[in-house]
């Protein structure tokens, strides 16, 4: 008979299928096992749809009675857009529930587990805990802070340059690294860039399908494209403002953008958000707060050096994905990030839980900024 951890690993794979498709709900995988045989499985559907447990129970039908449920996050016990999963589990006659990690949502936070125990259903907690928590790290921050989890992503040479002296940046890294970067865009709710990037590159910022991806189709759950544009300089012919993309584009401006400019941008179909200024530019803290209010759980920052530096200076970055190419380009243009910086090397922002991955000839450095990760419920 396979172990509980074996089945929980399969549930974690199902969780990955839902990443980027469920916000503001967490991505959850669930598996029902009876007599060592999987009789039902599922993952969370887009917000308003059934949760993973309900999908698995529906697939199992009567075979759920007496089965063991493996679920990657504590079942909910409150009424939201859907009824409590705990009640569905109890009514289905599930014999025991394996929970990878508890849900930090104050409406749950152990109460789901206690309800199951009170109904006579034993629970086993902790199988695959670390992996389950990592998959929902963005949701955990959002549910406690009501602010999105911000990942800063950039590619640079060994000497820290995003582009050559002429401005040419195609390509800093190779195909394998670029494909890995698109995997990240595929699982976030919003992609943030500065207007300088739009003017220079005219990107679309869409989540391109990843070959052989096991994730569910994004459908309408595509990343919101956010342009930080204090003065409203975005070209009206930019592809981000095209008829196929405008409904998913937000341009964040300040009062430095005239009323007429804002109206012209809005006429393309994009949303214009008027935000307060900080030192003459969009207040990035206000922008992040706005995205949280919209229910956006995860944000990918694909910015140039000025905006990237401003996010670091404002302590708004939770995680780093830095792609490093083993090449030296020289010059005094296009550093990875520009800001006032630290007076001493001992004051540098240090990453925790650093992971290094080789991608062809390139390397990915992944890590967390600890002081930016913390958030109290107060």
- Interatomic CA distance for residues 326 and 52, integer angstroms: 43
Strands 29-34 and 68-71, by their bridges, are antiparallel
| 149: its two tokens | 């989890």
Query: Which secondary structure element, helix H or strand E, spans residue 289, and what is its range?
Result: helix 284-293
Q: Is there a contact between 33 and 7 (Cβ–Cβ < 8 Å)?
A: yes
| 361: its two tokens | 């000839």
Closest CA to 361 of 171, 157, 174: 174
Choosing from 53, 74, 302, 366, the catalytic residue is: 53
Q: Is there a contact between 142 and 291 (Cβ–Cβ < 8 Å)?
A: no
- Interatomic CA distance for residues 198 and 195, integer angstroms: 5
In this structure, is the dihedral angle defined by the CA atoms of residues 294, 296, 302 and 305, taken in order, positive or negative? positive
Strands 37-43 and 29-34, by their bridges, are antiparallel
Question: For this structure, is 53 an active site residue?
Answer: yes
Q: Is 18 strand, coil or helix?
A: helix
Closest CA to 323 of 367, 357, 365: 365
- Interatomic CA distance for residues 172 and 157, integer angstroms: 7
> Hey, which residues does 277 pair with through a beta bridge?
282
Q: How far is CA 45 from the centre of its chain?
A: 16
User: What residues act catalytically?
Assistant: 53
């Amino acid at each position: 008979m396979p172990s509980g951890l074996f089945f929980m690993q399969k549930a974690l794979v199902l969780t990955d299928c839902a990443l980027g498709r469920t916000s503001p709900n967490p991505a959850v995988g669930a598996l029902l096992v009876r007599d060592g045989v999987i009789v039902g499985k599922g993952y969370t559907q887009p917000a308003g749809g059934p949760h993973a447990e309900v999908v698995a129970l529906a697939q199992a039908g009567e075979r759920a009675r007496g089965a063991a449920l493996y679920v990657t996050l504590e079942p909910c016990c409150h009424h939201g857009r859907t009824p409590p999963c705990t009640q569905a589990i109890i009514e289905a006659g599930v014999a025991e529930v394996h929970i990878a990690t508890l849900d930090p949502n104050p409406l749950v936070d152990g109460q789901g587990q206690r309800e199951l125990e009170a109904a006579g259903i034993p629970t086993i907690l902790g199988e695959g805990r670390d992996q389950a928590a990592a998959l929902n790290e963005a949701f955990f921050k959002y549910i406690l802070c009501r602010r999105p989890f911000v990942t800063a992503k950039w590619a640079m040479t060994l000497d820290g340059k995003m582009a050559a002296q002429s401005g040419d940046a195609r390509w800093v890294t190779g195909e394998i690294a670029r494909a890995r970067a698109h995997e990240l865009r595929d699982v976030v709710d919003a992609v943030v860039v500065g207007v300088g990037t739009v003017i220079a590159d005219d990107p679309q910022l869409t989540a391109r399908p990843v070959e052989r991806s096991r994730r569910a189709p994004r459908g309408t759950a595509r990343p919101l494209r956010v342009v930080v544009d204090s003065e409203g300089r975005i070209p009206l012919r930019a592809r981000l403002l095209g008829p196929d993309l405008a409904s998913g584009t937000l341009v964040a401006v300040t009062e430095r953008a005239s009323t007429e400019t804002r109206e012209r941008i809005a006429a393309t179909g994009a949303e214009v958000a008027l935000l307060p200024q900080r030192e003459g530019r969009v207040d990035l803290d206000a922008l992040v707060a706005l995205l949280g209010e919209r229910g956006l759980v995860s944000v990918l920052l694909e910015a140039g050096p000025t905006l990237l530096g401003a996010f670091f200076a404002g302590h708004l970055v939770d995680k780093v994905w830095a792609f490093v190419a083993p090449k030296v380009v020289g010059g005094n243009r296009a550093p990875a990030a520009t800001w006032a910086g630290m007076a001493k090397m001992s004051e540098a922002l240090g990453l925790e839980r650093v992971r290094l991955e080789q991608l062809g000839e390139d390397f990915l450095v992944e890590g967390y900024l600890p002081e930016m990760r913390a958030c109290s419920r107060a």
